[in-house]
Amino acid sequence: MDLRALGHSPEEFERELLSNLYYQRGTTIESASRRDVYEALAVTVRDRLAARRARTAAAHYQANPRWVYYLSAEYMLGRQLWQNLLYTGTEDLARSVRADFDEIAELDVEPGLGNGGLGRLAACLLDSLATLDVPAVGYGIRYDLGIFRQTFVDGAQVELPDDWAFEGNPWEFRAPDDREVVGFYGTVFPTDGPTRRRRWEPAETVLGEPSHMLVPGYGTATVNIVRLWRARAARGSFDLTRFARGEYADAVQEVVRSENISKVLYPDDSTESGRELRLKQQYFLVSCSLRDIIRRFRLRNSDWGVFADKTTIQLNDTHPVLAIPELIRILVDEYELDWDRAWDITRRTFGYTCHTLLPEALETWPVAMLGRLLPRHLEIIYAINEDFLRELEQRYPGDADRVRHMSLIQEEPERRIRMAHLAVVGAHAVNGVAELHSRLLAETTLRDFAELWPAKFHNVTNGITPRRFLRIANPSLSDLITEALGSESWLTDLEQLKGLEPFADDPGFRERWRQIKRHNKTRLGTDPDALTDVIIKRFHEYKRQMLKLLHVITMYQRIRDGVTQPPRTVVFSGKAAPGYWAAKEVIRLINAVAGVVNADPLVAPYLTVLFPPDYNVTLAELIIPAADLSEQISLAGKEASGTGNMKLTLNGALTIGTLDGANIEIRDRVGAENFFLFGLDAAQAAELQHGNYQPRGYYERDAELHGAIDAIATGAFSRGDTGAFAGLLATLLGRDDYLTLADYRSYVDTQDLVNKAWLDPDEWSRMSVLNTARSGFFSADRTVTEYCQRIWHTDPVSVP
Ligand code: 26W
């Protein structure tokens, strides 16, 4: 039932745009600012999605289906305008009515509500869920301040607050009627019910107010939503008496305290902050979301017995794992189900995806802190652990060690809750995000659990949406692919890219392929003739941006020694967690080296180093189509999957990488001959790491490595200041936890193979076409299909 027929002609589109200028912005075309036009355009496009959303909601209500609920503390949604223009087929219409369309589109802001891989994966999976017509809702937090803006001062990273919605956000709908009340602190009282039923009286409450953004499917009518919660102070929290007494700060203290909960995203992507506010954020997210899920369930169902049949909740890492004790609390304390029934429903409802292998990234919370903030949840976790340990004692009588290892409670040195253990015990399915990662999880980090419950452990290799990362980011290459394949259906069936294989042998096609890559380099502002070598991801020692830098210095020294090479542009981009000293030192050193290299006329024809600041989804969409070489050089066994590797392969970049994460599956599918492999594999790396690895030995034995490190040490990149990077060099020569020096020689030699290959542009393009042609597997549609078949057991619902 379309309330208002939305036309498809330029005239009708312009009429809608004008009426939105009048009625939404209260202005006329003559006096409208560029922002007025942007907002009116956004509403014009949004209306079309809203119409489809209405039909989707009606169809879903009708179908009373099994729902997928994705709980994530982070979403990297990217800019919405281009996506929504593509998904409503109104791009040309918009372009036809506004000559300054591109300038207007620049006003579209990216909601940076995430740190990196985990947050962007969540967005790709939501896009595929809608495209596959799966009824789903993403739940998250609407942080007022997203991931910090990165600028450089004297080459050092400086963080600035990201007030992304300062000008408002035309893509969201507030839903104040669906506010929820969330409690903290307080006391737990016994009840006269069964022993495990209690009554919790929070000492503090805050309101959770949702706003949702539309998540359209591509090539289908389905429009799902992502619901983001913001904290609001309860009405009347402003203390007038104190205000009257001039105690202004105290007067608003309550308001500030409440609204602080969704104020800012924690910028850590691998080490836990341990901050109580972070724990408050996690509970705020799960409490609001579970209440909303239960409200939606009870709209169509009254029997708790079918809750787990109608509801599957995926936990995006351990950040939302408090949802497990929270569901128990609601079922037992509020709906008075008995414990065992509530536990059975809970286990059948939750799935848990682990995104890391780094011990420091596995969250644990102090028992004391959790007991203070969430006293009832601590009790429930104790009860879950009590039953679990009893099961272990029966299964492994007398094996105290195993019991201590597997317990939800870490006893030494401080009593802490192991959130990953809670997730595994409370979920019916656990998965890693690439084959190697899932295998290492089952063989190391979660080995005891995998031995106890082998059927619970799965692998679902990550994926990316080809809509944003090829069709939107690289329209010229998409057009060539569509022309070659004869239709755009590859966009929803990426394996069809296989049809490009024969074109790899077509010189004319290869030439057009090369021209498009050149065009994308010009668009990026880099030299179209140069090999564009990119390493774009968060800064972390295990991702080894330092190894790329040592190669840059080696190339620099070789060129200065008269050894020429094909021109190369090295592009670094990425943020470091503000508290991560070593990562920030690497950023500072890269900018120092870039300053010297780019200023050296001898070197300029052969090597340029760029470091565009403030890496995010929008910058990725600009850099990825221009890349020739994709750097995936993490220490084997450390990168859970990687998704940038998939985006670059899809856009025809060749990968130089280790046997780590999804690199392995990329190499298996594109062919070892179309991939530049180097370095230790995971087993060799683990052995060396646990053996007595002497990084200094590699420095002494390898002249080029020696030369590169000495250049840093002698101040070649710091105006002779030998101490400038002494700390960083000390860790590299002293510890080198991620075996950067051990892999240096293999890496540099493989880079020489890259240079050789680049000298034959035709052969390079052939390999590039084959990389794209064989990357169909890495579509998030395949990933979501696997989750639906193996973990969520959901079926699509078609929307008329
Ligand atoms: C507690 C702080 C914290 C915050 C975020 C710890 C860990 C995280 C994330 C799990 C880190 C993350 O983004 N992991 C990345 O997830 C991607 C999606 O699965 C993978 O492709 C990357 O390999 C993995 O590093």
Q: What is the pLDDT of residue 1?
A: 46
Q: Would you call 9 helix, strand, or coil by DSSP?
A: coil
| Ligand 1 pocket by Cβ (under 6 Å) | 115-118, 121, 268-270, 272, 317, 355-356, 361, 363, 433, 462, 639-643, 661
Q: What is the pLDDT of residue 5?
A: 64
Task: Confirm whether 480 is domain-assigned.
Answer: no
Give catalytic status of residue 456 as yes or no: no
Task: Confirm whether 163 is domain-assigned.
Answer: yes
* The total number of structural domains that make up the chain: 2
The pair of structure tokens assigned to 797 is 């619902």
Expressed in angstroms and rounded, the spacing between residue 357 Cα and the centre of ligand 1 is 9
pLDDT band at 53 (very low <50, low <70, confident <90, very high): very high
Ligand 1, pocket-test mutation among 70, 265, 269, 433, most atoms within 8 A of CB = 269
pTM to 2 decimal places: 0.98
311, burial (CB in 10 Å: exposed 0-12, middle 13-18, buried 19+) = buried
Query: Rounded to an integer, what distance in angstroms lies between the CA atom of residue 611 and that of residue 597?
Result: 13
Residue 117 belongs to domain spanning? 64-75+111-461+787-792
Task: Confirm whether 514 is domain-assigned.
Answer: no
Query: Rounded to an integer, what distance in angstroms lies between the CA atom of residue 124 and that of residue 226?
Result: 12
Q: What is the pLDDT of residue 272?
A: 74
Residue from 227, 291, 437, 538 carrying the catalytic annotation: 538
Task: Confirm whether 48 is domain-assigned.
Answer: no
Give catalytic status of residue 538 as yes or no: yes
Top-confidence residue, 255 or 50: 50
Residue from 46, 212, 471, 647 carrying the catalytic annotation: 647
Expressed in angstroms and rounded, the spacing between residue 537 Cα and the centre of ligand 1 is 11
251 and 370 fall within a common domain: yes
> Does the pLDDT of residue 532 top 80, yes or no?
yes
617 and 754 fall within a common domain: yes
342 and 265 fall within a common domain: yes
Annotate 460-516 with DSSP letters as a single string. Answer: ----B-HIIIIIIT-HHHHHHHHHHHSSSGGGT-GGGGGGGGGGGG-HHHHHHHHHH
Closest CA relative to residue 797, chosen from 126, 228, 55: 55
Q: Where are the alpha helices (DSSP H) in 261-338?
A: 276-300, 307-310, 323-329
Going by CA atoms, what residue is nearest to atom 1 of ligand 1?
272
β-sheet with 607-610: strand ranges across: 607-610, 568-573, 531-536, 629-632, 654-657, 676-677
Expressed in angstroms and rounded, the spacing between residue 316 Cα and the centre of ligand 1 is 9
Expressed in angstroms and rounded, the spacing between residue 642 Cα and the centre of ligand 1 is 9
Taking the CA of residue 121 as reference, the ligand 1 atom at the shortest distance is 18
Residue whose pair of structure tokens reads 């800012």 in the numeric block: 264
Q: Would you call 190 helix, strand, or coil by DSSP?
A: strand
> Does the pLDDT of residue 3 top 70, yes or no?
no
Residue 744: CATH number of its domain? 3.40.50.2000
pLDDT digits (tens, 9 = 90+) for 56-77: 999 999 999 999 999 999 999 9
Task: Confirm whether 758 is domain-assigned.
Answer: yes
Give catalytic status of residue 756 as yes or no: no
Mean pLDDT over the full length of the chain: 96
Q: Give the H/E segment covering residue 183.
A: strand 180-184
Expressed in angstroms and rounded, the spacing between residue 119 Cα and the centre of ligand 1 is 8
Q: What is the pLDDT of residue 193?
A: 80
Task: Confirm whether 479 is domain-assigned.
Answer: no
Going by CA atoms, what residue is nearest to atom 9 of ligand 1?
269
417 and 525 fall within a common domain: no
Ligand 1, pocket-test mutation among 120, 147, 318, 355, most atoms within 8 A of CB = 355
> Does the pLDDT of residue 264 top 70, yes or no?
yes
Expressed in angstroms and rounded, the spacing between residue 361 Cα and the centre of ligand 1 is 8
pLDDT digits (tens, 9 = 90+) for 145-176: 999 999 999 999 999 999 999 999 999 999 99
Residue from 56, 220, 643, 783 carrying the catalytic annotation: 643
525 and 443 fall within a common domain: no
451 and 534 fall within a common domain: no
Top-confidence residue, 96 or 652: 652
Query: Rounded to an integer, what distance in angstroms lies between the CA atom of residue 772 and that of residue 776?
Result: 8
Query: Rounded to an integer, what distance in angstroms lies between the CA atom of residue 456 and that of residue 470?
Result: 35
pLDDT band at 353 (very low <50, low <70, confident <90, very high): very high
Task: Confirm whether 712 is domain-assigned.
Answer: no
Taking the CA of residue 271 as reference, the ligand 1 atom at the shortest distance is 2
Expressed in angstroms and rounded, the spacing between residue 269 Cα and the centre of ligand 1 is 6
Task: Confirm whether 399 is domain-assigned.
Answer: yes
> Does the pLDDT of residue 4 top 60, yes or no?
no
Query: Rounded to an integer, what distance in angstroms lies between the CA atom of residue 475 and that of residue 468?
Result: 10
Ligand 1, pocket-test mutation among 75, 356, 360, 660, most atoms within 8 A of CB = 356
Query: Rounded to an integer, what distance in angstroms lies between the CA atom of residue 270 and that of residue 362?
Result: 8
Taking the CA of residue 433 as reference, the ligand 1 atom at the shortest distance is 19
